[in-house]
Amino acid sequence: DKARDPDMHQTAKGKQWYFGMKAHMGIDSKSKLIHSATATAAPVADSTVLPRLLHGRETRVWGDRAYQGQTAVIRAVAPQAQDFTNRRVRRQGIVDVVEWAKNRTKSRVRAKVEHVIGVIKCIFGFTKVRYRGLTKNTHRLLVTCALANLYVVRRLQPTGG
């Protein structure tokens, strides 16, 4: 019937509008393995799905500014975890240089997990939704995350001979 998918919604990022869904993933920064994943409609805030991304045994939680101010949620789900999410650096037009430097250091750790997202997008082609409905696309996301884990692990395993 050529109608839009009722499960998907639109949202703006800057001046660009997007229609679809968001994939949220919890990734271990040392092993680069995905331990949790979920999908939501596009306008759902990242901070609302944070409890579903934590498994409870984390020691540090790295995140972008979307997860800022979620220290209480992190403590509730993972009591031993320290909050290493990026903070706002500009207040009333003035840039806090110390906070900017801290965010830069945090972003270097966060950049490690972006490799896994690149595997999902470039190697397995998960850039657009293929099915109608959030449930089917969530299942596709979970299978793609499992495949990405296998792909990353194969590169970590020493080759015997």
Range with the lowest mean pLDDT among 12-26, 50-64, 87-101?
A: 87-101
Res 115 pLDDT > 80: yes
Each as own residue / partner, the long-range contacts of residues 134-137 (CB below 8 Å, 24 or more positions apart, any chain) are 134/7, 134/8, 134/21, 134/39, 134/40, 134/41, 135/7, 137/21, 137/39
- Alpha-carbon distance of 69 to 47, in angstroms, equals 9
Work out the pLDDT band at 157, boundaries 50, 70, 90.
Answer: low
82 membership: H or E segment, kind and range:
strand 82-85
Percent above pLDDT 70 for the chain = 95
pLDDT, tens digit (0-9, with 9 covering 90-100), for 81-114: 888 888 888 877 887 788 889 888 888 888 888 8
Work out the pLDDT band at 130, boundaries 50, 70, 90.
Answer: confident
